[in-house]
Chains A and B, each alone.
Chain A
Amino acid sequence: MFSLAIAPNFASTIVTPDIAWVALLPLLILSGAAILLLTIASIAPKDLSSSAFALFTGISALASAISAIPLWTRVQDAERGPFNTIAGGFSVDGFSLLITFLILISVILVTCLASAYLSDEGVAGPEPYALILLSATGGIIIAGASDLIVLFLGIEVLSIAAYVLAALDMRRVQSQEAGMKYFVLGAFASGFLLYGIALIYGATGSTSLSAIREFLDSAELTNDALLLTGIAMVLIGLGFKVATVPFHFWTPDVYQGSPTPFVAYMASAVKAAGFAALIRVFYGALLSYQTDWKPIIYGLAIATLVVGSLMAIVQTDVKRLLAYSSISHAGYILVGFQSGSNDGVTSVSFYLITYAFMVLGSFTIVSIVGRLSGGKTNLQDFEGLASRRPILAAVFTVFLLGQAGIPLTTGFFAKFYVIEAAIEARSFGLAVTAMVTAVIAAFLYLKILVRMWLDDNDESDRMSMRQARANIPIPFQVGFVLLISGGFTLFFGIWPEPIVELVREALPIL
């Protein structure tokens, strides 16, 4: 590895830090691709097909992922190990790379999904793809952030692109509403986050996570009100991003209204980035204050689990239902997060990876069923799916059972792992609550299963419309998404060892 230092020629010039460009390569490829995409699209002839944009997006995400592989080897190398760059603002360790890979994989899968969906909805142009690439860039910045300002920067890049993605389907008023809601509430949460960062800076004198940690380890604060208020504000801001109760109110509306592929993106990549931010801040900087924040997380986790699973039961729209279910999954991740140990981090990473595939697959199915039933995703639209599209129903069953935490799917091991982390941290009450809400949540997945497999009594008019649409073929790239996510959920559900080892090698060091 070599770093290009910009040597100061004059004493008066601003001294810029050394930058390990190789470490930033995944980021640069991604953001470069986004800009290039917009440039090409504005120069190129108007009739350039949107599948070309999708292909370009997929390839650049792949290139970005490949450029991260040498970094992973380097980080795992005992002699060289993880490192910092940009004056300690950006760190490259196992955790940041793991989240990077996760985000890039979901970018690839979401792009596949979007290319089919957008052409159906009549949304042309390169903008969606450029926005996905930019948003993913933000996610990668978050994953590696070792400074609160860099973290904030990442969150804003991630979120602002996501706001636009939510509102992208301009023909539908729900989509615009979703985008608006997401933006207003998101901006509000960002305000909280920034204020919290300012307060933490005021209390500790630094925005660098490692400096904050060292300060808190060495110094005893006589009055930590400022710091605690800062922690609380940061928690509110990040809690909004990962949709924990009581900061979850945007989720159902946004998930219901946004274009389905981008909902899949929010539930997988954005959620992963949000939890990466939580881990960076709370494990990286504030671990010595865990006696203060753990009870709060404990309470948040219980509220999130209970509200998420209970509210999901009464939903009739499957997208909304999955939104609440994603809230309850955030609760499980908090259960692992709350343990404050290495086991906690690995269980959170494991959960994020496995959940990303399950939720991507679920929303893929929802978007297909939405197409079959003319844009509607009510529970009734899943009635008798098993007799019309048995394979589709079988694949959806895998995702639903996975989310319910039934053995031999990755979802089971994910739950097992977070519960284990909680028990190792002696949080028995939380573990029991989590398992009880798992049963409540199982009920709602069963509700969909019943509709798909056991209900077959349709009114005739709807039936005939469905019959007409029943044979719409599934586009190749959508089938690919289902194959990857379904295969992942089943294969690693039976043999999770590789993923467990992966997350164990991916602890945040810096």
Chain B
Amino acid sequence: MGSFAFLSLAASGPSFPTIPALVILPIIGALTVALTPSARVGLHKLLATLFSGIVGAISVWVLAAFESNSDFQFVSERTWVESLGIQWFAGIDGISLFLVVLTGLLFPLTIVAINPSHDHKAYYVWLLLLQSGCMGVFVALDLFMFFVFFEIVLIPMYFLIGKWGHGNAKYAATKFFLYTMLGSAIMLVSIIALASLHSRDSGNDLTFNLLEIAENPAISTTTGRILFLGFALAFAVKVPLFPVHTWLPDAHTEAPTAGSVILAGVMLKLGTYGFIRFGLYLFPEASHFFAPLFLTLGVLGILYGAVVATMQSDLKRLVAYSSIAHLGFIILGTFALNTQGIQGATVQMINHGISTGALFLLVGIIYERKHTREIANLGGIQKSAPILAGAFTIVMLSSIGLPGLNGFVGEFLILLGAFTANRWWAVVAAVGVILAALYLLWAYQRVFHGQADPSDEEIKDLTHWERLILVPLIVAIVYLGIYPKPMLNRIEPAVDRLVAHVEEHAEEGRFREPTPTVGVRSSFADLVENFEHHEDHHGHDSHHDEGGHE
């Protein structure tokens, strides 16, 4: 791997196997929980919290030790199946860093916050396995390894929805499983074809090494486009993008609270992350070629999610549809194919994880107290539970994208990037921001204000325990909204490198020369150039300190 200058194996520093620990500790935790006697319910929760908490602590340590450059850090490399060219090859860069941290922290929070209704042991086993799988996806730099984790997360989630879900849970779980599996089935063909073409071209043995394949493109334009579609289908289902989104409302609504939190917080990011890490990186030309398609689908998702969310009578379903709208934004930013857009998309992945995760948590808390999610049957909660209402307000405003809270930063960057690429998509998408305010505020009004059902006026406010869980989320919402610079600084170098790579390899790209109609192009071109000159010395120490875009 020595040929990759940006892959500073030596500079990765400490010999502690960080990434293997992140991925394997939850599995050890799951085994430990599985081996404790079923009767010791408290012990299961304790062990699960302990193991996922350690993973969370390691991820925070990763955040602290991460150097703001475009290198893959903490790289861990092992042969896995030598004869098939399959490696364990993992690393963290700016794009995956915060997703790793999110995965590390959201799981212990969820485990602490929510007790399952029954069958505690299996519940914690599946949650821990899910944490391991998600972690694996975000750190994998080998296509095969990525696929394994991408696919394996289905099993825990399937059981979490099916076994601890409400209503028509079995149907929702099966739908979720089959939809996602169909996507990844086609992706597997694409992955193998890509690796096979690469090895044929280079004359080397088969390899699935992402960097090796991406840096030495060996496919014709047409092949690239076809293979890209294979990947894109898998990611689009996982995101989910507009026409293939139908599993999401079902899965979210029927899932238990923890399932929804993890699904929204972490698992939906597998798709958007996949687009950025694999879609754009492996297929720069095809990304350019299909950008209008995905921009359109993103915008459609924004509008469709918003409109349908407005009409929902079920609070949880409403939040689920709002997710579709938010993920539309992320796709919009991704396929703007410029630094602001992709950076915004990366930031928004984290923001959406925090905000929507917290929203589902709050909806779960309301459901636990009122035993209904029908907006019509709720009302007047604010009177008896002001703190719950306050927490909901902050989270909701962050989800709307109020300046000063985290949601704004991501949405702003995305719209900026999309505007640079093509203003009309940005203009239409901006309508989605307004719609988000509409459906969320309206929902808030109906749920928290108005006349409470006189029969059960006394709704319990947040307990100390629940407050403790929500505090870190709300702190993150406010902190990232007011002072996003440290986060942006860490994300930016990796995004710059990706954008430069895409530009370099996209000779036939339609968006190579932006459409002349974009009048503000020049000022942003300066901005982009400003970033690009750092690419000249993409060694170990390209710290960017002027990264804030506000």
Contact = CB atoms under 8 A, between A and B. Distances in A.
Query: Which range contains the number of B residues in contact with the other chain?
Result: 20 to 34
A251 B102 CA distance: 51
A416 B189 CA distance: 9
A436 B151 contact: no
13 contacts: A406-B152, A407-B148, A407-B151, A423-B192, A431-B192, A435-B189, A436-B185, A438-B185, A439-B178, A442-B181, A443-B174, A450-B162, A454-B163
Interface stretch (A20-28, A114-122, A125-133, A495-503): A495-503
Interface in B203-249: none
Nearest to B177: A446
A420 interface: yes
Interface of B: 80-84, 147-149, 151-152, 154-155, 158-159, 162-163, 169-170, 173-174, 177-178, 181-182, 185-186, 188-189, 192-193, 196
Nearest to B169: A454
A454 B182 contact: no
Nearest to B165: A454
A33 B159 CA distance: 48
A197 B83 CA distance: 38
A217 interface: no
A416 B84 CA distance: 10
A450 B170 contact: yes
Most buried by B among A407, A424, A439, A454: A407
Given A406-B155, A453-B163, A454-B163, A416 B174 contact: no
A432 B189 contact: yes
Contacts of A420: 84, 192, 196
A455 B170 CA distance: 9
A303 interface: no
Contact of B182 (A407, A436, A497, A500): A436
A131 B188 CA distance: 43
B178 A423 contact: no
A442 B178 contact: yes
A504 interface: yes
A491 interface: no
A435 B188 contact: yes
A497 B86 CA distance: 10
B171 to A, nearest CB: 10
Nearest to B182: A439
Contacts of B82: 497
A143 interface: no
B174 A439 contact: no
Contacts of A436: 182, 185-186
A504 B83 contact: yes
A318 interface: no
Nearest to A504: B83
A29 B10 CA distance: 59
A408 B81 CA distance: 12
A428 interface: yes
B148 A454 contact: no
A416 B177 CA distance: 19
A496 B79 CA distance: 12
B83 A419 contact: no
Contacts of B163: 453-454
Q: 4 nearest interchain CB pairs?
A: A435-B185, A407-B148, A439-B182, A500-B83
A432 B155 CA distance: 23
A495 B79 CA distance: 11
A401 B155 CA distance: 9
Contacts of B158: 446
Nearest to A397: B155
A407 B83 contact: no
Contact of B186 (A435, A446, A504): A435
Given A407-B147, A407-B148, A454-B170, A442 B177 contact: yes
B189 A446 contact: no
A217 B159 CA distance: 56
A101 to B, nearest CB: 19
A181 B80 CA distance: 46
Interface of A: 401, 406-408, 412-413, 416-417, 419-420, 423-424, 428, 431-432, 435-436, 438-439, 442-443, 446, 450, 453-455, 495-497, 500-501, 504
B154 to A, nearest CB: 8
Given A423-B192, A450-B174, A497-B83, A407 B159 contact: no
B162 A419 contact: no
B193 A428 contact: yes
B196 A423 contact: yes
A453 B80 CA distance: 32
Contact of B159 (A424, A453, A495): A453
A423 B163 CA distance: 38
A439 B181 contact: yes
B188 A419 contact: yes
A432 B181 CA distance: 13
Nearest to A497: B81
B185 A500 contact: no
Nearest to B200: A424
Given A416-B188, A438-B185, A443-B174, A423 B152 contact: no
A212 B83 CA distance: 33
B541 to A, nearest CB: 38
A500 B188 contact: no
A406 B181 CA distance: 9
Nearest to B147: A407
Contacts of B80: 495, 497
Contacts of B181: 438-439, 442
Given A420-B84, A436-B182, 16 more contacts: A406-B152, A407-B147, A407-B149, A407-B152, A416-B188, A420-B196, A438-B181, A439-B185, A446-B177, A453-B163, A454-B163, A500-B81, A500-B83, A500-B84, A501-B83, A504-B83
A408 B24 CA distance: 14
A500 to B, nearest CB: 5
Contacts of A453: 159, 162-163
Nearest to B183: A439
A446 B189 CA distance: 22
Nearest to A387: B119
Contact of A431 (B169, B177, B189): B189
Nearest to B145: A407
Contact of A496 (B81, B147, B182): B81
A455 B174 CA distance: 14
A424 B152 contact: no
A61 B464 CA distance: 67
Contacts of A495: 80-81
A450 B155 CA distance: 12
A446 B177 CA distance: 9
Contacts of A454: 162-163, 169-170, 173
B146 to A, nearest CB: 11
Nearest to A447: B174
A413 B144 CA distance: 11
A423 B84 CA distance: 14
B28 to A, nearest CB: 14
A247 to B, nearest CB: 27
Given A406-B152, A407-B148, A500-B83, A416 B192 contact: yes
Contacts of B83: 497, 500-501, 504
Contacts of B196: 420, 423-424
A420 B154 CA distance: 23
Contacts of A500: 81, 83-84
Contact of B189 (A407, A423, A439, A442): A423
B235 to A, nearest CB: 16
Contacts of A435: 185-186, 188-189
